[in-house]
Structure 1
Amino acid sequence: MANSASVLDFQSFSSQALSAETIDLIETSVAQFGAPLLMLDCDIIRAQYRALSNALPNVALHFALKPLPHPNVVKTLLEEGACFDLATTGEVELVQQQGVPAERTIHSHPIKRDRDIRDALAYGCNVFVVDNLNELEKFKPYKDEVELLVRLSFRNSEAFADLSKKFGCSSEQALVIIETAKDWNIHIKGLSFHVGSQTTNPQKYVDAIRSCKEVMDEVFERGLPALSTLDIGGGFPVTYTKQVMPIDQFCMPINKALNELPETVQVIAEPGRFIVAPAVTSVASVMGQAEREGQIWYYLDDGVYGSFSGLIFDHSEYPIVTLKQDGEFVPSVLSGPTCDSIDVIAENIMLPKLENGDLVIGRVMGAYTSATATDFNFFKRAQTIVINEFEENSQRMIG
């Protein structure tokens, strides 16, 4: 398959109708590679990165690898001028292999082993995150090499994942960490926070930014070294089955709050889902079928232990469409291939009568899908193929 010449019409996935070109590409891909498949479109990566860059013009974007740690994603974003947010030695190794300069990275995991710190420093990444004194103490041996961000907690029950439940400290605790760091001669560079994954209310960012500004003001009043950086995390939302606010509109109040910070404060962010979620489409085929309790069950060759793992781990609801669109639509169930009863993708979904071998398409499946897939029951996870790897040959996608 010639990646650079293949154009997948992802825009057509916003409706039930798929273009003839899209159907042909899907069928050709399955004929060549088999099913299940994940189709990664680098043009979507570019478009999403540029959209967020335009919406946050004064913010340095550090792509968080966690949702989709794929080499082509890293290469595409590196060419776009992106920076990167790392959390593990494996992620350090991935960006190093793709030629990412270490100065364009930060290490944001709040809890680290000593060898994690050493591995990152050996690569050249020297900006780390802490949220407690126990973690701060780990940096005593490296105090002349590192710059730290103190992560604050802002709870958000509305998010897909309330990341402040597991990480972050209060404003009062942050000041204790900063004062202790001064005593230990460890450089605190700034503050960070994460309001939660798939946050649909921008006010959560606004409130967090203003709280961080209060901490920065208090640091100044106490005569502590000035803080020069604010990391506003990720969580920027994408549309799955429910429409979310356009990103430029979403970021307007965030930019307004950022403008209240001193001009000397550099702002960075850690987008993950927003960049990659729309860029991947899954293709699964019907393995078999049965009628149970008045509904037809279709057993696919991909499921929640595979590419649809986000149904459990990420609480996502993926838009699903079938290539076959004719005939009466009836309530159906889509099941994964394993022998586990939890392996169900969708219930009471309206589908036409499908035959064995028919294809089922999942959209917006770039975030927390292949990254959390398994080989449970020895069903191999879906192969990922890359579309529009080279921008110069793929202008129709974003033109």
Structure 2
Amino acid sequence: MNGDVANSLDSNTIGSLVTQFGTPLMVLDCDVVRQQYRALQDALPNVELHYALKPLPHPAVVRTLLAEGAYFDLATNGEVDLVQSVGVPSERTIQTHPIKRDSDIQHALRYGCTVFVVDNVNELEKFIPYRDQVELLLRVSFPNADVLADLSKKFGCKPEQALELITHAFDLGIRIKGLSFHVGSQTRSGDKYAIAISRCNEIMQQVTDAGLPVLSTLDIGGGFPVQYTADVLPISIFCEPIRQALNVLPETVRVIAEPGRYLVAPSVTNIASVMGQAERNGQTWYYLDDGIYGSFSGLMFDEAKYETKSVKQSNEVYSSVLAGPTCDSIDVISDNIMLPKLNNGDLIVSTMMGAYCSCTATDFNFFKKADVIVMGEETVFDSNSISA
């Protein structure tokens, strides 16, 4: 289930939203979030899904997923504050940033979050003052060159270091309750997870053989791919090797995951309008009121692919350029897109923009960020009125 939100926005709905709220807009459809959550839960039926807030830290997403029974993966004090404000019970959260300040640990503990992630001795020893309050997951690195973002380059201990770190934690009186890993974003194959799960299973057995407390939790991270392009596997097929690998684990092991992009990427549609136009080198340049420094920031930071179309339809289309509103020359969304001849004020719609778009947008050049409009809750409303 790809859940392309554009299917739920006909031209009348788009026009109504623009009349009411103006442009640019980011339209968040909570029904799509629900669909994505249920699809992943069906693909990983015995795995607790902890939504990683980073790609879209929006209260409506948190509320929607909480109602679905989700758990939450937090990495910063702001994310702690957001889930607390929405009423997420602290026992449904973990704090997974491998590198934390002492104040970050204290902030999470005041909320009631007691499960943290470490990946080195320095980080482990930060928990000495809190050893009676916390349980830790040790993050293990499994480098993966075949991904959009290889997070194992920045975090995680080598598998052969795990037993030594767990032994050191035991000597300090700190409980390591399990292992975690992250194979990277937009992973192409579930086989990468299966390899990591198998290696973690071996580490768990090493811990038991060493006479240390049994590890009871395995966090398989995120990275589940969404269909920016047609070559991405359907989620059930993608997860088949993961399910097979998990079946080999002892039945006593609790398995959790940290999906982010997969749950929210298809849930947001961008609506922008043409501010002006010019003929340059045989192409029409259309300047929109949103761009690279705004909602399309993922084109720079995330290498994601968005489907972009004109609301105005015609059989006659021409090679065109879509540019953002700022005075910076890199602010170009697409330098070769086939579009009909557009007028100032015509609308451009882009889908698959729920992950790493709003959260990385800026107000550079004092062009305001797109307002986020929520659909699929009880009413349609402007999220700027929500206190988070």
- Asked if the contact 1:197–1:236 (Cα under 8 Å) also holds between the matched residues in 2, the reply is yes
Range that drifts further, 241-250 or 343-352: 241-250
Residue by residue over 1:30-61, the C-alpha shift from the partner in whole angstroms, topping out at 9 and shown as x without a partner, is 01100000000010011111111111000000
Instruction: Specify the alignment match of 2:382 in structure 1.
Output: none
1:366 matched to 2:354 = yes
Residue by residue over 1:273-328, the C-alpha shift from the partner in whole angstroms, topping out at 9 and shown as x without a partner, is 01000000000001111122222111100011110011111111111111111142
Matched letter for residue 293 of structure 1: N
1:291-370 equivalence runs, <5 A = 291-370=279-358
**Shift of residue 11, structure 1, vs aligned partner:** 5.0
Instruction: Specify the alignment match of 1:3 in structure 2.
Output: none
- Asked if the contact 2:131–2:173 (Cα under 8 Å) also holds between the matched residues in 1, the reply is yes
Residue by residue over 1:133-153, the C-alpha shift from the partner in whole angstroms, topping out at 9 and shown as x without a partner, is 000010000000000000011
- Asked if the contact 1:241–1:319 (Cα under 8 Å) also holds between the matched residues in 2, the reply is no
Q: State TM-score, norm by structure 2.
A: 0.95
Instruction: Specify the alignment match of 1:286 in structure 2.
Output: 274
**Shift of residue 247, structure 1, vs aligned partner:** 0.8
In structure 1, C-alpha distance between the alignment counterparts of 2:5 and 2:75, rounded to whole Å: 35
Matched letter for residue 182 of structure 2: H
1:1-399 equivalence runs, <5 A = 13=6, 22-390=10-378
**Shift of residue 172, structure 1, vs aligned partner:** 1.6
In structure 1, C-alpha distance between the alignment counterparts of 2:86 and 2:270, rounded to whole Å: 25
DSSP-derived class of the 2:256 partner = strand
In structure 2, C-alpha distance between the alignment counterparts of 1:11 and 1:180, rounded to whole Å: 48
In structure 1, C-alpha distance between the alignment counterparts of 2:102 and 2:17, rounded to whole Å: 45
- Asked if the contact 1:327–1:353 (Cα under 8 Å) also holds between the matched residues in 2, the reply is no
Aligned Cα root-mean-square deviation (Å):
1.3
Aligned CA distance change for structure 1 residues 43 and 230 (closer, same or farther; 3 Å): same
Unaligned runs of 5+ in 1: 1-9, 392-399
Aligned CA distance change for structure 1 residues 11 and 175 (closer, same or farther; 3 Å): closer
In structure 2, C-alpha distance between the alignment counterparts of 1:333 and 1:240, rounded to whole Å: 21
- Asked if the contact 1:232–1:267 (Cα under 8 Å) also holds between the matched residues in 2, the reply is yes
Matched letter for residue 217 of structure 2: T
**Shift of residue 242, structure 1, vs aligned partner:** 3.2
Unaligned runs of 5+ in 2: 380-388
DSSP-derived class of the 1:260 partner = coil
Aligned CA distance change for structure 1 residues 116 and 11 (closer, same or farther; 3 Å): closer
DSSP-derived class of the 2:137 partner = strand
Aligned CA distance change for structure 1 residues 133 and 208 (closer, same or farther; 3 Å): same
DSSP-derived class of the 1:103 partner = helix
DSSP-derived class of the 1:164 partner = helix
Number of residues paired by the alignment? 377
- Asked if the contact 2:5–2:267 (Cα under 8 Å) also holds between the matched residues in 1, the reply is no
In structure 1, C-alpha distance between the alignment counterparts of 2:4 and 2:210, rounded to whole Å: 53
DSSP-derived class of the 1:97 partner = helix
In structure 2, C-alpha distance between the alignment counterparts of 1:28 and 1:164, rounded to whole Å: 45
Matched letter for residue 390 of structure 1: E
Range that drifts further, 83-92 or 242-251: 242-251
In structure 1, C-alpha distance between the alignment counterparts of 2:142 and 2:61, rounded to whole Å: 29
- Asked if the contact 2:166–2:176 (Cα under 8 Å) also holds between the matched residues in 1, the reply is yes
Residue by residue over 1:85-106, the C-alpha shift from the partner in whole angstroms, topping out at 9 and shown as x without a partner, is 0000000000000000000000
In structure 2, C-alpha distance between the alignment counterparts of 1:173 and 1:81, rounded to whole Å: 35
Aligned CA distance change for structure 1 residues 186 and 34 (closer, same or farther; 3 Å): same
- Asked if the contact 1:318–1:365 (Cα under 8 Å) also holds between the matched residues in 2, the reply is yes
- Asked if the contact 2:5–2:269 (Cα under 8 Å) also holds between the matched residues in 1, the reply is no
Residue by residue over 1:102-139, the C-alpha shift from the partner in whole angstroms, topping out at 9 and shown as x without a partner, is 00000000000000000000000000000000000100
Aligned CA distance change for structure 1 residues 360 and 121 (closer, same or farther; 3 Å): same
**Shift of residue 390, structure 1, vs aligned partner:** 3.4
Matched letter for residue 11 of structure 2: I
Residue by residue over 1:132-185, the C-alpha shift from the partner in whole angstroms, topping out at 9 and shown as x without a partner, is 000001000000000000001111222111111111110122212101001100
